[in-house]
Amino acid sequence: MAKDSHPDQKPNFLVIVADDLGFSDIGAFGGEIETPHLDKLARAGLRLTDFHSAPACSPTRAMLMTGTDPHIAGIGTMAELLTPQLADKPGYEGYLNQQVAALPELLGDAGYLTLMAGKWHLGMTLETSPYARGFQRSFALLPGAANHYASSPKAGTGFPRQDTLYTEDDHYVDLPEDFYSSDGFTSRLISFLDERDDREKPFFAYLAFSAPHWPLQAPDHLIAKYRGRYDEGPEVLRSERIAKLQAQGLCPADVVPHPIVARNKPWEELSDEERARSARAMEVYAAMVERIDWNVGRLLERLEETGELDNTVVLFMSDNGAEGTLIEAVPVFGPYLMSFIAENYDNRLENLGRPNSYIWYGPRWAQAATAPSRLHKMHATEGGIRVVSFLTWQGFARQKEIGHAFITAMDVMPTLLELAGIAHPAPSYKGRSVAPMRGLSLMPYLQAETEYVHAADEAMGWELLGGQGIRQGNWKGVFVPGPDGPARWQLYDLSTDPGETHDLSDTFPEKKAELMALWDRYVEETGVIQLHR
């Protein structure tokens, strides 16, 4: 077991979440984007190849902050996508409900300083803000997305009014004119750390980037660095990324990637202008990822200067698979958003990526980043829920390793509570009933006492907007609604088919029936409202 150089101190916690980052976007996970700070940190720690989120951002953040299923915590679906069928149902409140005890609440009660900067997406009011759920200092973007620059057009993008987007502690705030999301969030978190009165008090710092979520916007000089890099298209990039993943031992050498599923035209059918615009979108995306890395470097440098980095557990993760949705085709966004963009933004090729442009990169680039897995964000397939993640701390036995154990975002809170010496208060907390955690502590695995976190007979479920998944060991059942899937349950053995390419439903009908029984139990335990069966 590795030794902690601060045996009398509780560890600090730094949790960094990127928004819609692809599995292979950073260098330490096979990417070509320049991410030296993240790469160094990842390679020093434990790179996780089987870490799972929810299919989308706010449900994952609920898992992270509560250690339980998002349908229990109030985020059974994203608040922006609540339908009449789901609205007002238990577990579908659209904010972190009172049936859970939040991680910052418990850490704060135990003497931790709790700090947050970045995207919240777990409540749109002051009463459901980070400050109301245990963060003693917070600077937060409340909704799921916003322009990354303060100088962007300020309203009408299908999201709430600009003056209710951001909070600092218990009040709404406006942005400074020079604000860029990744820079602004990191600077604010650093300032919270600098302003501490008691440096002996352990801290929990949560840095939740809103990048590289659309709209894709980044500094000009970084975009220029990637000019021409993606001119061969997403299929070529996909092949390059898979080869690098294999070379680093991050996916099997004999893996069969899932075929690309997309309703937009393939690269070879695009005109020269369409290719130029598509490649430029990917260039902007790469610049956003590099800027995340630069900001992580700034934060790590400050912790090194204060002598606190060695005793800080660092978790880095994405909140879901890469974003491959054709936003223009989504009813809640599409028609209104497209007309607003046409009227208020400048999406000429030479302006793409600037504050007054508004673009996304689509399913083909996304599947370059999720490969060899199937599909992308919003799906319970591996491409939607298997995400880039690593843990680094000198107190862990597993260092400079690649870990292949199945892990979920619900396991983070139990792990941090164990490291802090805190027992979860279920069944009650401060006079209210609260649900127990469904996640498990990673500590036996991180200290090399076991080779797994979840036993082979344990079942894990996912659901979002009718997309469904159930996993037990390496067996997985998945339901992908149309048009991206067959709208029926399929069966896969992930040990031999991580790309979910060979449906075994007819070969192993008894195993499929077992998983369907486990699915029914998951629905009953979590309160999932089934949209498909």
pLDDT tens, residue order, the chain (533 aa):
343 444 568 999 999 999 999 999 999 999 999 999 999 999 999 999 999 999 999 999 999 999 999 999 999 999 988 888 898 899 999 999 999 999 999 999 999 999 999 999 999 999 999 999 999 999 999 999 999 999 888 654 444 455 679 999 999 999 999 999 999 999 999 999 999 999 899 999 999 999 999 999 999 999 999 999 999 999 999 999 999 999 999 999 999 999 999 999 999 999 999 999 999 999 999 999 999 999 999 999 999 999 999 999 999 999 999 999 888 766 666 567 788 888 899 999 999 999 999 999 999 999 999 999 999 999 999 999 999 999 999 999 999 999 999 999 999 999 999 999 999 999 999 999 999 999 999 999 999 999 999 999 999 999 999 999 999 999 999 999 999 999 999 999 999 999 999 999 999 999 999 999 999 999 999 999 998 76
Cβ neighbour number for residue 109 with a 10 Å cutoff: 15
Report the topology of domain 12-34+50-526.
Answer: Alkaline Phosphatase, subunit A (3.40.720)
Residue 6 a catalytic site member: no
**Annotated catalytic residue within 57, 251, 376, 454:** 57
pLDDT at 332: 63
Amino acid at 473: G
Q: How far apart are CA 357 and CA 351, in angstroms?
A: 7
pLDDT at 531: 84
Q: How far apart are CA 182 and CA 279, in angstroms?
A: 23
Packing angle between helix 36-44 and helix 272-305, nearest 10 degrees? 60
pLDDT at 2: 40
Q: How far apart are CA 68 and CA 417, in angstroms?
A: 14
Q: Domain limits of the chain?
A: 12-34+50-526
**In terms of C-beta distances under 8 Å and separation of at least 24 residues, what long-range contacts does 70-73 make, across chains too?**
71/463, 71/526, 71/527, 71/528, 72/99, 72/100, 72/435, 72/438, 72/526, 72/527, 73/97, 73/99, 73/100, 73/435
Phi/psi zone of residue 378: left (φ > 0), alpha (ψ -120 to 50 degrees), beta? left
Question: Is 19 in contact with 323 (CB distance < 8 Å)?
Answer: no
pLDDT at 161: 53
For the beta sheet containing 137-141, the strands, ordered from the edge strand earlier in sequence to the opposite edge, are: 171-172, 166-168, 137-141, 113-119, 203-208, 12-18, 312-318, 389-392, 46-48, 401-403
pLDDT at 168: 98
DSSP code, position 509: H
**Annotated catalytic residue within 121, 376, 379, 424:** 121
Please tell me the number of Cα atoms within 13 Å of 78 on its side-chain side: 20
Q: Give Dmax over CA atoms of the chain in angstroms.
A: 64
Q: How far apart are CA 483 and CA 480, in angstroms?
A: 9
Q: How far apart are CA 323 and CA 333, in angstroms?
A: 15
Partner residues linked to 493 by β-bridges: 475
347 is written with which tokens? 């999406």
Q: How many residues does this entry show for the chain?
A: 533
Q: How far apart are CA 43 and CA 392, in angstroms?
A: 9
Buried b (16+ CB within 10 A) or exposed e, 456-490: eeebbbbbbbbbbbbbbbebbbbbbbeebbeeebb
Please name the residue that has the structure tokens 């020269």.
Answer: 272
Handedness of CA 86, 89, 91, 92 (dihedral sign): positive
Residue 57 a catalytic site member: yes
388 is written with which tokens? 């880039």
The model's pTM: 0.96
